[in-house]
Structure 1
Amino acid sequence: MAPAVLGIKPPSPSCDSAANINSSHLAGETELSKSKFSQTLQTSMPSSAHQTRIVTDETTIDVLENNGPALRAQHWVLNPPRPPGLWDELKNTVSETFLSHGEKFKSLVKQPVSGTISMLGTLFPILVWGRDYTVAKFKRDLLAGLTLASLCIPQSIGYATLAKLDPQYGLYTSVVPPLIYAFMGTSREIAIGPVAVVSLLLSSMIQKLEDPEANPVAYTRLVLTVTFFAGLFQAAFGFLRLGFLVDFLSHAAIVGFMGGAAVVIGLQQLKGLLGLTHFTVKTDIVSVLEVIFKSFHNSWSPYNFILGSSFLTFLLITRFMGKRNKKIFWLPAIAPLISVILSTLIVFLTRADEHGVKIVKHIKGGLNPSSIHQLQFDSPHVSEVAKIGLIVAVIALAEAIAVGRSFASFKGYHIDGNKEMVAIGFMNIVGSLTSCYAATGSFSRSAVNFSAGCESAISNIVMAITVALSLELFTRLLYYTPTAILASIILSALPGLIDLNEAYKIWKVDKLDFLACIGAFLGVLFVSVEIGLLVAVMISFAKVLLNAIQPGIEDLGRILKWVDEKEDGEDCTKGNAKGRPKLVILDMSSLMNIDTSGIASLEELHKKLMLHGTELAMANPRWQVIDKLRLANFVNKTGGRIFLTVGEAMDAFL
């Protein structure tokens, strides 16, 4: 291949010689290190040569150049390091996942003991921060864990009924997943267990495959299988650094989805609050209200409503008092447990169950039984189950990471999103093998944990042990617990899911984001939970595409220089400079990467400029971009006019 020779005409002293600069702003930030480029420099650079030959990995380019520093920078840019191959990227990903920052696999060979400890410390952060753990911290974690358990026990039973499972499954889910997370998670304040939104997702989607009332055993098996797939997806997201997938659910979409889900959950709780026997399997507001209005004539229980609404009022009052006075944070935390104890005593002493008040009845005691044999990988619904698992995985991750980061910012530390995904994934995989359904971080319980002064994830361990003891010793005492109380406990937790202030803020800041918010809200409310989620993802994805296909391109104008003469009595300004620009420089500092379509556009631009006698140069491209441009032979076509900075490109031309 003959070397491309680029002859540069010296610019005239007038402002016609000004160069036009275009800046292509796509996304991200860039820094090109000269030391990296100099490592692969493959040419000698004569200081006084008029014509210099640049040798790159694949092309040989002759460049006429008189400026030594600009030429040196041009050599650096044209000889970047080769991008890492697939094996290197995989090795780096595994290294970042399992090893501490800066550690290499070689350390495992040279220092097997310390390397193994480092790897274990990355997988199990408790081995790192546990070295500095003190008795004083344990006392605060003990108090926080006991406070957390008093709220967790009644909520877990309520969320299990929302998921259309037996009550003990909610308690099981508050034992194993918190223990796993305490060893693998990076958040100190997050409280792990069943949550309302995930419980609603499971019940609304799985009951389309199996009827939980007609065939509860098959339904439970599908729930456990969905939990396994959800954990598998979550762990894979963490290992493969796919956390960006969660970002397709924008903050605005999550606000709308959570708000719509809260309303749907509240409507679902009217079954327990009113003591209804028959209820619709649909979740949209129209179907639910239709069933409720029909039930008022014959099947509802006024005693159920009186008991449930009375304790709901009590719970809301204690919640309000706890917000007004932070010193009594423990009051709204133990209020649900007090409600369960008092209502159970009332029903037992008055025999209200014989007068229409519906009760929980038998709750199976004992620790989590194994459920390995219940996973249904050969089910005819396995593809649907995997799809539901993916949806649950994304929603659970979005909620957990949002909760974890919120409280981490209060205490000034950082949580690793990818390690959080691995931890949450493993806890759900293990949970599915021990009769637990999908668990994640609960905002309401995490707020209680934070207010109680927790210092570490040990509070989750204390909570899990307390719940395990309750399973062993106290489940028989809950026989007369009214279902209306469980409904009132869930209803009292829903205001935290509806954030009107945040929705108003989204409206003021970004109307397209608000469209995603209101689309998710209305989709959940009037169609179904999965449709609302789909609307949220589609609008968020559409916004990302719009921003990607319409990048901001700014014309930075002509480079002006001071001259002593004026042509035709006119000022040398951008507005009246005559003639075509001799050089166009693309500032590519914000270009993260390029594909074949982008290269084709650059080639088209280069051809148009050549027709008008204008030359094309590029400044500050990333090494990934340079590598692809070289492979496409575009570097050779432009005569190697690629520089480290815009200033060096101008120096080379002028």
Structure 2
Amino acid sequence: MSFTTVKRLGKRIVGHPEETVPIISSTHWRHSLKGNPTNAVQTYLISLFPIIQWLPRYNFGWLSGDLIAGITVGMVVIPQGMSYAQLAGLTPEYGLYSSFVGVLFYCFFATSKDVSIGPVAVMSILVGQVIVHVQDNHPGVWTGPEIASGLAVITGFITLGMGLLRIGWLVEFIPAPAVSGFMTGSAFTIATTQIPGLLGITGFSTRDAAYLVIINTLKGLSGAKLDAAWGISGLVGLYLIRYGCEWGTKRWPHRARIFFFASVLRTAFVMIVLTLATWLFCRNKQNPQTGRYPIRILLTVPSGFKHIQRPILTTSLLSALADKIPVATIILLLEHIAIAKSFGRLNGYKINPAQELIAIGVTNTVGSVFGAYPATGSFSRSALKSKCGVRTPAAGVVTAIVVIVALYGLTDAFYWIPTAGLAAVIIHAVADLMASPDQVYAYWRISPLEFLIWAAAVLITIFSSIENGIYASVVASLLLLLVRLAHPRENFLGKVIVSQGDGQDAQTRDVYIPLKKNGVLNPHVNIVPPVSGVIIYRMEESFLYPNCSLVNSALVDEIKSKYQRGQDMTHIKPSERPWNDYGKRRSGVEDQALNLQKPIIHAIVLDFASVSHIDTTSVQALIDARREIEKWADHPVEFHFAPILSPWIHRALVAGGFGVGNSHSTLPRDLAAVVPYRDGVSFEEEDNKVERGSDDLEASDIKKAPSPASDSGDLEPIVPLNTPFFHIDLASAVKAAESGVKRTEEKK
């Protein structure tokens, strides 16, 4: 089927059939892509550095908020960074490297003022698992820091590439319950792996599945050491300060600011107290033979950047990491984008997911040179920045200064930090990542299927691994999306007359709703089916290849079950019937009598209000449905569509032979006042005079339906005259179909 291009879109008086409204062609599409390439490239390059937009407007009013937030986060990220580094199987300084690079470089590329990039619990435990995995398969080839920095540069390149290509929208395919599910399972797993360290229990691997760690911990309780005094007291102290500050805020609201900062600095305060207690207790108790102390402490933490070097990135290391790269990349994307979007909604600004991927990519790629391991957005530190009143991403620079001061000036004090205290810090931090009961119940209320995905992600993470939990939640979410696309809601519609107002001022309109009761609409409302011979069908999804067979089956089955068969099959021999046409063994006279009692199908109205896309397979399914229906009815059946507002849906349906032809409708077409196109500039002039009648098939003519005579003045048909089966709304489509039925019956 070919398409018509015309001379003008602008003024035309109804009654001149020589000109019609244009149907979109590939020429129009090519012209719509025109633009200034130089400006596009310039805009793209500027968008890569959002700091250019806000830094020139920086002022002292913003500085105070950024200083407070930056210093506060810096005092929290130092103990957290060292704790998470141990969780990753690395020495504490690597956590400080990741903290410094993350907060410093993020501010140049950030579209979120609240997010704090650095080491996080879930990524840290995954890095630890990756190191063990690679070293078990390739013993003695690479050290833990080399594997961690290699993973950072690989995942950094991947996320950077995704950001530069502006495909950050891919993360939108993973819903919030899936993210919450693996985060909750991961937080529970991390907490269980830290309990042995909290109590000083050793003798088994803490990298097993969470349930095995719990079992082994219970078996080893009798072997708890003196470390438990520091670990348990630290954990209790953290929660006492937290809940005490919350109580104090409610008791003395006018001192809420003081209680807030006392609460957010509780980690630093507890670690200082535990470190002093460790020094007082252990300073003269080192075993001269083994060099050990009564409790486990960090010992020497190198000052400064001692591990700056080019990251090792060889094909052999890439091969060894290959099966772990996808899950590491997914964690970087999901956790960061989820946090950035959450705080953007909370504080009234919008992030750019693609730009955030660039920020993650640059941070991890550059960080690998400093010896950092993969880092992403931290929920707890981002929440802390937000509550401290951060004004711009420049707060990250302040945090970086705090970290580098600690890295060069406080490493001697880090020597006495108890590892049990760091385990308490991790448990306290990850507890906030678990979904609350109210949140879980909300998932159940909103979408039971998504609740099941959440529960599956949690259980698989706990009883298998974090990696399997992530894959399970992602795959289940995509499968649910495909199922919903392949099986959308679809209904046959009837009409109700809705009235607004009372008495003579009442206004009425026709509304089309499902004929079947659905538990939402009032069951006592009388829904009037369309005129006999007309059916109205609505599908609440784009019409694409996964669901097109559903539409085909629904229409054909409805016609065959409720409408008259055009051909009398009474005298057709069984040998002449199709193999799949099951006829009853009796004479068939009764069947024909029942068939004649059914109405004759004349028209099908398709409500395309929810259809935003259509493809070749779905158009072919409509063609097949029309062919089968007309074969059953033994006469042509009209297919009306409303509303058709997308030029590509219009183009596709016309290509399939729909919309054009002679309609039996007797109703006049919908008209609207003429609005000149761009102050009189014609469509042809705007598109460099697209020629009608060229060799392009898309520019050839369709047989035009005659324009109805009109005395309406400067009026134009809203829908092209050469597509009489396309309508501007469902009401006009139904009226046209029903009027066509009456006209057909009058001819009989």
Q: TM-score, normalised by structure 2?
A: 0.69
- Equivalent position amino acid for 1:556 in 2: L
Q: Distance in 2 between matches of 1:634 and 1:471?
A: 72
Q: 2:728 aligns with which of 636, 645, 649?
A: 645
Native 8 Å contact 1:589 1:622 kept in 2:
no
* TM-superposition CA deviations, 1:49-83 (whole Å, max 9, x none): 7xx689xxxxxxxxxxxxxxxxx5xx34x335668
Structure 2 CA distance for aligned equivalents of residues 88 and 210 of structure 1: 55
Specify whether residues 107 and 538 from structure 1 end up closer, same or farther in structure 2 by C-alpha distance, changes over 3 A only: closer
**Residues 234 and 394, structure 1, Cα contact 8 Å, conserved in 2:** no
Query: CA 1:483 to 1:83, structure 2 compared with 1: closer, same or farther past 3 Å?
Result: farther
Q: Kindly indicate whether residue 24 of structure 2 is the aligned counterpart of residue 79 of structure 1.
A: yes
Partner of 1:127: 52
Aligned residue type for 1:361: L
Matches within 5 A, 1:386-535: 386-500=322-436, 501-535=438-472
1:610 pairs with one of 630, 637, 651: 630
Deviation at 1:314, TM superposition (A): 0.7
Question: Residue 60 of structure 1 corresponds to which residue in structure 2?
Answer: none
Tell me, what secondary structure is at the counterpart of 2:207?
coil
Counterpart pick for 1:329 among 255, 260, 269: 260
Point out the structure with the larger helix share: 1
**Structure 2: which 5+ residue stretches go unaligned?**
250-255, 288-292, 498-507, 510-525, 534-598, 663-721, 740-748
CA contact (8 A) 1:260 1:525 kept: yes
Matched, 1:291 2:180: no
Distance 1:512 1:479, change over 3 A: same
Q: Residues 238 and 420 of structure 1 are in contact (CA less than 8 Å); yes or no, is this contact kept in structure 2?
A: yes
Shift of residue 572, structure 1, vs aligned partner: 13
CA distance in 2, matches of 1:125, 1:432: 23
Q: Note the 1:160-179 alignment, pairs <5 A.
A: 160-179=85-104
Q: Secondary structure at the match of 1:554?
A: strand
Separation in 2, partners of 1:608, 1:43: 41
Amino acid at match of 1:337: A
Decide whether aligned partners of structure 1 residues 84 and 401 sit closer, same or farther in structure 2, where only a CA change above 3 A counts.
Answer: farther
Partner residue, 1:357:
295
The C-alpha deviation readout for 1:326-353, integer Å capped at 9, x for no partner, is: 4222123222222222222222222166
CA RMSD across the alignment = 3.5
Relative distance call for 1:545 and 1:119 in structure 2 (3 A) is: closer
With over 3 angstroms needed to count, the CA separation of the structure-2 counterparts of 1:271 and 1:595, relative to structure 1, is: same
Measured in 2, the distance between the counterparts of 1:127 and 1:331 equals 35
Q: Structure 1 residue 200: deviation in Å?
A: 1.6
Secondary structure at the aligned position of 1:365 is classed as coil
- Per-residue CA distance 1:366-399 (angstroms, 9 max, x = gap): 1374342x323321x5245244233222222222
Pairing of 1:112-261 with structure 2 (within 5 A)? 116=42, 121-211=46-136, 215=140, 217-261=142-186
Contact 1:609–1:615 (CA<8 Å) still a contact in 2?
no
2:241 counterpart (300, 303, 318)? 318
> Aligned partners of 2:329 and 2:55: how far apart in 1?
29
1:556 is paired with a residue whose SS is strand
Which residue of 2 is the match for residue 623 of structure 1? 647
- In the alignment, is the contact (CA less than 8 A) between 2:103 and 2:396 conserved in 1? yes
| Counterpart residue number, 1:95 | none
Asked if 2 retains the 8 angstrom alpha-carbon contact of 1:227 and 1:389, the reply is no
Q: In the TM superposition, what is the alpha-carbon distance from 1:602 to its structure 2 partner? A: 1.0
Cα distance in 1 for residues equivalent to 2:442 and 2:527: 47
Report the CA distance shift for 1:502/1:572 in structure 2 as closer, same or farther (over 3 A).
closer
SS at match of 1:315: helix
Distance of aligned partners of 1:307 and 1:588 in 2 relative to their CA distance in 1, 3 Å threshold:
same
Change in Cα spacing, 1:311 to 1:44, as seen in structure 2 (3 Å) is closer
Tell me the distance in 2 between the aligned counterparts of 1:391 and 1:200.
Answer: 12
Q: From the superposition, tell whether residues 150 and 216 of structure 1 become closer, same or farther in structure 2 (CA, over 3 Å).
A: farther
Question: Do 1:285 and 1:526's aligned partners in 2 also have CA atoms closer than 8 Å?
Answer: yes
| Paired residue secondary structure (1:153) | helix
SS for the counterpart of 2:492 is strand
Kindly indicate whether the alpha-carbon contact (under 8 Å) linking 2:112 and 2:340 is maintained by their aligned counterparts in 1: yes
Q: Distance in 2 between matches of 1:39 and 1:218?
A: 70
Distance, in Å, in 1 between the alignment partners of 2:606 and 2:325 is 46
Distance 2:59 2:112 in 1: 18
Check 1:40–1:260 CA distance in 2 against 1; reply closer, same or farther (3 A cut): farther
Distance 2:424 2:137 in 1: 22
C-alpha displacement of 1:285: 2.3
Identity %: 28
304, 314, 318: which one pairs with 1:377? 314
Contact 2:620 2:656 in 1 (8 A): no
For the residue of structure 1 that corresponds to 2:477, the secondary structure is: helix
Q: Distance in 1 between matches of 2:161 and 2:6?
A: 36
Separation (CA, whole Å) in 2 of partners of 1:165 and 1:88: 55
Higher mean displacement: 475-484 or 394-403: 394-403
Look up the SS of the partner of 1:555 in the other structure: strand
Matched, 1:348 2:271: no
The one-letter code of the counterpart of 2:231 is G
Query: What's the offset of the Cα at 1:44?
Result: 11
Structure 1, 125-134 or 591-600: larger mean CA deviation: 591-600
* Distance in 1, Cα, partners of 2:356 & 2:147: 25
Give the aligned residue type for 1:317: L
**Does the 8 Å contact 2:83/2:423 carry over to 1?**
yes
Check 1:624–1:232 CA distance in 2 against 1; reply closer, same or farther (3 A cut).
farther
Task: For residue 544 of structure 1, report the CA deviation from its aligned partner.
Answer: 0.4
Normalised to the residue count of structure 1, the TM-score between the two structures is 0.78
| Structure 2 residue 107 is the aligned partner of structure 1 residue 107 | no
Give the superposition deviation at 1:276. 3.5
> Does the CA contact (< 8 Å) of 2:457 and 2:469 recur in 1?
yes
Corresponding position: 1:584 with 2:617: no
Q: Distance in 1 between matches of 2:273 and 2:137?
A: 30
What amino acid does structure 2 have at the position aligned with 1:625?
I
1:247 to partner: Cα distance: 3.0
- What residue identity is the alignment partner of 2:726? F
Q: Measure, in 2, the Cα distance between the counterparts of 1:557 and 1:524.
A: 48
CA distance, structure 2, for counterparts of residue 515 and residue 312 of structure 1: 33
Contact 2:118-2:377 at 8 Å conserved across structures: yes
- Contact 1:123-1:184 at 8 Å conserved across structures: yes
Which letter maps to 1:577?
A: S
- 1: distance between equivalents of 2:652 and 2:365? 41
Q: Any idea what SS the aligned residue of 1:585 has?
A: strand
Read off the aligned partner of 1:154 and give its amino acid letter: P
The question of whether the paired residues in 1 share the 8 Å contact of 2:178 and 2:473 is answered with yes
1:279 and 1:53 mapped to 2: Cα distance?
87
**CA apart distance, 1:309:** 0.6
> In the TM superposition, what is the alpha-carbon distance from 1:413 to its structure 2 partner?
1.6
Question: CA contact under 8 A between 2:298 and 2:414: conserved in structure 1?
Answer: yes
Q: Secondary structure at the match of 1:617?
A: strand
Does the 8 Å CA contact 2:640/2:659 hold for their aligned counterparts? no
Superposition deviation, residue 88 in structure 1: 9.7
**Range that drifts further, 282-291 or 533-542:** 282-291
Helix, strand or coil: the match of 1:186?
coil
CA–CA distance in 2 between the matches of 1:629 and 1:454? 53
